[in-house]
Structure 1
Amino acid sequence: MKLLIVFIVARNKLKNRVQEIVNSISDEFYKIFSNDGAVLIWFGSWVKGDAYLQSDIDLAIKSDQQLDNKKLSTFRQYLDEFPTLYKVDLVDMRDAGELLKTEIERYGKIL
């Protein structure tokens, strides 16, 4: 029983840390794209609650218009340099396949 409690506490701390990472990334996203009408969506195993220690962080950009390539490059560089051991995957909803779009729309959390 004690081992289960320790596991649950550790898992909750891990989930809270990932939430902090996502919040920081989201803040930077909205600084860069503040006037572009784009939204950042968090989806995948962390949102669904079935993540494990090595799970990546899945993010999607949703926008009705083509975003500025320089801004996208700046944001991708920010992600590449972000100080975390987690891999961060970024998807442009306009380039995603139908199955992935459905997954994002069903389970995604707009940040």
Structure 2
Amino acid sequence: MILERVQAIVNSIAQEFYHRFADKANLIWFGSWVKGTAYQQSDIDLAIEHHGKLTEKEIVAFRDWLDEFPTLYSIDLVELEKANDLLKQEIGQYGKRL
């Protein structure tokens, strides 16, 4: 039941993301919820893959929207292009493109 609630949150976030950015970027869900190792208070990990197609202003605006998103879960958002190699490897192995 908790996983379904988190999935609904992620789906809502993805809907807003693709409404804003359509063909310019991808949103990837990764981390403990995707791997099946989450506990009730685990955060939601998301990565943006945009290959330089989004401006810093667009990314900041989306982060601001996420900060106001009505959920008790913490949401971590990373830019894949700026992530370290270990995180890129984890996202590549376990991430789910939304």
Classify the TM-score, shorter chain: over 0.9
Whole-angstrom CA distance in 1 between matches of 2:23 and 2:2: 33
1:32-76 per-residue CA deviation (whole Å, 9 max, x = no partner) reads 11142x100000000001100110000000122241222212211
Gapped runs of 5+ residues in structure 1?
1-12
After the TM superposition, list the runs of 4 or more consecutive aligned residues in structure 1 that deviate by more than 4 angstroms: none
Task: Determine whether 1:22 maps to 2:10.
Answer: yes
Matches within 5 A, 1:78-93: 78-93=65-80
2:39 counterpart of 1:52: yes
Identify which of structures 1 and 2 has the higher relative contact order when contacts are C-alpha pairs closer than 8 Å and 6+ apart: 2
* Residue aligned with 1:83, SS: coil
Q: Please state whether the residue corresponding to 1:33 is helix, strand or coil.
A: helix
Q: Which residue of 1 aligns with 2:19?
A: 31
What is the alpha-carbon distance in structure 2 between the residues aligned to residue 33 and residue 63 of structure 1? Answer: 9
TM-score (norm 2): 0.95
Query: In 2, Cα distance between the equivalents of 1:74 and 1:106?
Result: 28
| Structure 1 CA distance for aligned equivalents of residues 56 and 70 of structure 2 | 23
TM-score by length of 1: 0.85
DSSP 3-state at the match of 1:54: coil
How many residues in Structure 1 have an aligned counterpart in Structure 2? 98
Q: In 1, distance between residues paired with 2:17 and 2:60?
A: 12
**Identity over aligned residues, as a percent?**
59
| Cα root mean square deviation, aligned | 0.9
Q: Distance in 1 between matches of 2:46 and 2:57?
A: 19
